[in-house]
């Protein structure tokens, strides 16, 4: 039996028509092992991280300056302490292309419209580097939770994670964003080699249904893009009906949109599973846009000093620069909003900026998100562990560790990269690594 006999017949016949002489090379790519990659997170990683992982990394991904291939038969980077610390994100090399094309710059207001599980959102956040706004949206509630967890793990402070359908989001954010990423739900043909089970869900009808849905999503994205803004549309499918034809029809509906660049990665030509991306620009008509100005600041729920005393005490004792402005209290959960945060009232928000922690009776408990977002020089008391040490494994398994430290909250780091909290009492550092993340 051929290694590619699992492929749907209609898919094979269409690809043979579309690819012509390249078809057999494309088909042979399904007989090869899948190629794995990761992407370093500029919010936390530095050159030392790459050097420390030299025994895992292979070649750099040519279109992604932070992307590297690795051999998943000899290494398991998903279990490495650096992964838990958010130093990198495991992401197919092809999927790293669209954000590189989008050209995000610090200070941009960005939207990732179909964002789960978070690969492209965290890549966008790396280019923002804490400056600007990122709205990461995922309509499916269970997938939005995974998105929020990945935003947290990578230490991102300036993201708002929302779970809404594009039409409601478009009503809330008319002509608001400088850069929009639309990694649209698709028929997933680029996943066949990686996940043959995806073949069972594929049909010619599903391709047509996806194309219709993609057109609707793009129209809503258009409504949220400022004049002069840029939009990148991408899929992990090979169907022209979902890719080039969707973009051509979109431009026909919106003549003020221009195709700047179009790129397709084929699995028989590059090391990756394949991807399609199109960068589009909206004409700048010279109008003065007031939409963003009128929504530039989130209406903060008023909090009295007494309610915040426990947090302010923690901040004074533990942080070098207390995060005491732009605070939002939702019930007993305290958030730090990014500068220029939009009004997200009326939307289903999973994460409104940086989650600082929980105000409990007569005490404040800092969040895991805050730990991951802090650098060691931003905290008064830290305790560093080596990535190869027994202590870091003990910590990730939920055990106490011991050291010569002052009593109180301690930021635990691995080779200098923040990974979680501990609380020291007479040399014993009690473990506050979340139970749901612990290794077993």
pLDDT in tens, 317-335: 999 998 888 899 888 999 9
Residue where the block lists tokens 């309610």: 307
| pLDDT range class, residue 373, cuts 50, 70, 90 | very high
Sign (positive/negative) of CA torsion 83, 84, 85, 90? positive
Q: Is the pLDDT of residue 199 over 50?
A: yes
Point out the least confidently predicted range of 28-42, 152-166, 410-424: 28-42
> Is 236 designated active site?
yes
Structure tokens at 367: 């969040």
Point out the least confidently predicted range of 184-188, 245-249, 312-316, 359-363: 359-363
Q: Give the C-alpha separation, 278 to 257, whole Å.
A: 12
- Strand 177-183, strand 225-235: pairing: parallel
Structure tokens at 156: 């991102």
Catalytic residue (one of 110, 210, 236, 341): 236
Q: What is the pLDDT of residues 124-135, one digit of tens each?
A: 999 999 999 999
Q: Give the C-alpha separation, 36 to 41, whole Å.
A: 17
| pLDDT range class, residue 299, cuts 50, 70, 90 | very low
Question: What SS3 state is found at 79?
Answer: helix
Residue pair 345/374 in contact (Cβ under 8 Å)? The answer is no
Q: Is the pLDDT of residue 34 over 90?
A: no
Beta bridge partners, 263, equal 277
Domains and CATH numbers, the chain: 379-440 (2.30.130.60)
Q: What is the pLDDT of residues 53-84, one digit of tens each?
A: 988 999 999 999 999 999 888 889 999 999 99
Q: Give the C-alpha separation, 210 to 223, whole Å.
A: 20
Q: Give the C-alpha separation, 122 to 156, whole Å.
A: 8
Q: Give the C-alpha separation, 36 to 90, whole Å.
A: 8
Q: Which helix (H) or strand (E) holds 411?
A: strand 408-414
Q: Give the C-alpha separation, 246 to 262, whole Å.
A: 13
Burial of 211 (C-beta count, 10 Å sphere; 0-12/13-18/19+): buried
């Amino acid at each position: 039996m051929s290694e590619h006999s699992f492929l749907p017949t209609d898919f094979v016949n269409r690809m043979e028509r579309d690819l012509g002489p390249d078809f057999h090379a494309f088909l042979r790519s399904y007989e090869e092992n899948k190629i794995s990659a990761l992407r370093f997170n500029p919010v936390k990683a530095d050159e030392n991280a790459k050097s420390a992982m030299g025994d895992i990394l292979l070649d750099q991904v040519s279109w992604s300056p932070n992307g590297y291939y690795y051999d998943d038969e000899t290494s398991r980077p998903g279990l490495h302490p650096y992964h838990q610390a958010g130093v990198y994100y495991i992401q197919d090399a092809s999927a790293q292309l669209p954000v590189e094309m989008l050209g995000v710059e610090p200070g941009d207001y960005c939207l990732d419209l179909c964002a789960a599980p978070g690969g492209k959102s965290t890549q966008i956040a790396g280019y923002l580097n804490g400056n600007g706004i990122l709205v990461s949206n995922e309509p499916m509630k269970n997938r939005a939770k995974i998105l929020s967890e990945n935003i947290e793990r990578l230490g991102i402070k300036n993201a708002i994670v929302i779970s809404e359908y594009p039409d409601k989001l478009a009503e809330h954010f008319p002509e608001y964003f400088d850069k929009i990423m639309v990694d649209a739900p698709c028929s997933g043909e680029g996943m066949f080699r990686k996940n043959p089970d995806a073949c069972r869900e594929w049909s010619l009808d599903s391709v047509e249904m996806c194309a219709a849905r993609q057109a609707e999503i793009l129209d809503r994205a258009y409504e949220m893009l400022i004049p002069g803004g840029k939009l990148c549309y991408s899929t992990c499918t090979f169907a022209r009906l979902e890719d080039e034809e969707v973009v051509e029809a979109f431009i026909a509906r919106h003549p003020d949109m221009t195709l700047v660049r179009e790129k397709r990665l084929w699995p028989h030509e590059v090391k990756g599973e394949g991807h399609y991306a199109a960068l589009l620009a909206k004409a700048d008509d010279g109008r003065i846009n007031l939409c963003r100005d009128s929504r530039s600041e989130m209406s903060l729920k008023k909090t009295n000093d007494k309610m915040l005393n426990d947090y302010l005490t923690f901040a004074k004792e533990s942080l070098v620069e207390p995060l005491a402005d732009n605070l939002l209290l939702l019930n007993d959960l305290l958030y730090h909003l990014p500068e220029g945060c939009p009004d997200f009232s009326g939307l289903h928000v999973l994460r409104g900026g940086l989650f600082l922690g929980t105000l409990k009776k007569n005490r404040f408990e800092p969040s895991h998100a805050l730990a991951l977002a802090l650098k060691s020089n931003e905290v008064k008391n830290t305790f560093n562990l080596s990535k190869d040490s027994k202590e870091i494994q003990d910590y990730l398994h939920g055990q106490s560790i011991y050291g010569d430290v002052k009593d109180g909250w301690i930021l635990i780091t691995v080779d200098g990269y923040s990974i979680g909290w501990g609380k020291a009492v007479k040399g014993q550092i009690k473990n506050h690594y979340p139970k749901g993340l612990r290794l077993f």
